[in-house]
Structure 1
Amino acid sequence: MARYRGPKAKIARKFGEPIEGQSKVLQKKNYPPGQHGRGRRKKQSEYAIQLMEKQKAKYIYGILERQFARMFDIASRKKGVTGENLLQLLESRLDNTVYRLGIAPTRRSARQLVSHKHILVNGELVNIPSYTLKPGDVVSVRERSKSLEAITGSLTGRPSNRFPWLEWEASSMSGKFVSIPVREDIPENIKEQLIVELYSK
């Protein structure tokens, strides 16, 4: 399965945000990476700004160009606002939901848990990270995986029901995808309209 395997700190510095989780690198080096990072010109073209926003969304959700373009195509054909549809599709991915429920500390580790067959959807084993959940679907930890240190460590001290579109049941280590999230509830700092404008060129 293709995914970005490069340095996380470089991505955080590129966008000036902790894309792959909290990092001290932004406090030490709050300028873009590379030989000309400090002296890079501040003014960017409209296209560059739109492209950066698309790249940021791809890195946040951990998907590559072809899959992202396919999701945008689906979002553009759905009723409603295309940018919001795109974010809703990204949030409905199984790996993202495993991360949001707190079963994994990062989306990378959530993807690994799904790929390594530790996660069930409605009682059935699903090992496809991009699997799209529907309202009412129940995501749970496989019985023999409940004692895994990676999972128990991530769930320790987890705040209850952090996201309004998800419900978590600690006793059974399962969560319900209650509804499609509305844009106001999605915490990611993404200007989705810029992505729509980029693909509309």
Structure 2
Amino acid sequence: MTESRIDFRKAKFLISAPDIAHLDQYLPGDIGVEIAFAGRSNAGKSSALNALTEQKSLARTSKTPGRTQLINVFELDADRRLVDLPGYGFAQVPLALKNKWQQALGEYLQKRACLSGVVVLMDIRHPLKDLDRQMIEWAVLSNIPVLALLTKADKLTQSIKMKTVNEVRKALADYGDKVQVEPFSSLKGTGKPKVLSILNDWCHPAWLPEQQALREQTEQE
């Protein structure tokens, strides 16, 4: 059966949650499909979400990195969601709060059974900081595929951009096909078709039909 193409332009805001526990109360982790977006607070995460969905203000951008510290969920359809995780590594908050969010992000990756992929966004000029590597490792160890998205690709020349992409691919080569690396520019649209293709594949995990059938059976009983 041919997989349906997901129209990411139909994404709409669903809910904000302060932590994983509150999210699970509203959206149990074994229902539907989630694709998470994670990254340092200056990685251009909101801009990337807006560009991919062709909406100017789906995800709120801020001149103050790390200002939004909520889990924001956007619905694609009845079964599929995009999840904007709080930016990590933000500087202007207490260390205790930073540590709390690092723990919460790890918990999200390890416990959300509906998670089918994680996009880890990194400024192409400053990739693979310690927290980026930790996020990627958390996801891989949880058997979640990763797209390492190198944002702001328009800031570099073509030659330097591809040199950086190849260096990051080499650095993550030990993870094999569990991690893909792609350049991206919210401003120029660089990499957008490739990213949407990957996200579309993640929207159709092998376990979704079985989950849907089980849910229909439960509703009929």
**If the length of structure 2 is used for normalisation, what is the TM-score?**
0.29
Higher strand proportion, which one?
A: 2
**If the length of structure 1 is used for normalisation, what is the TM-score?**
0.31
Q: Name which structure has the greater RCO, CA cutoff 8 Å, separation 6+.
A: 2
